[in-house]
Amino acid sequence: MGQVALEGMEFFAYHGYYDEEQKLGNRYSVDLYVKADLHAAAASDELQSTINYVVLYQLVAEEMQLRARLLEHVGHRILDRVLAEFPAVRSAKVRVSKHNPPFGGVCRRSAVTLKRKRGPE
C-alpha cells in the first residue's frame, strides 16, 4: 500500500454560505491524499500502473469550480469523484481550506477534513 498526495493546490472559487461570498469569491486550498497499492508502479515505472496525478488535479479543479454553500459539500464531492474514477483507490482524505474567511476578525483559514474508505464491493 502507498499514498499519493497533492498538497497545496490553490483555486479561486465562489463557495460560501452567504450570498456575498458566492458573488465575491475567495481563495481556497485543497490537500488530497489517496491510498492505493503502488507496488506495480514502483516496479514497472509505468504511468498506467499508478494513480495519475494530473487526472487527480483536474478532478479537484473541476469540483472547485462548482459552487457550494459548505466546504463539507465540496470535500464530499471530491471524495465521491476520486472513488468513482479510480477503482484502485482504497481510501482518500481531503482538506478544503478557505483563505481569510469573512468572520470580521483575523483568521487565516477555515478548513474541513473528510476521509472515506472504499466499502466492500
Q: Which residues are catalytic?
A: 98
All cell numbers assigned to 49: 500502473
Q: Count how many Cα atoms sit within 13 Å of the Cα of residue 96 in the half-sphere of its side chain.
A: 24
CB 33 within 8 A of CB 10: no
Residue that is written with C-alpha cell 458573488 in the block: 23
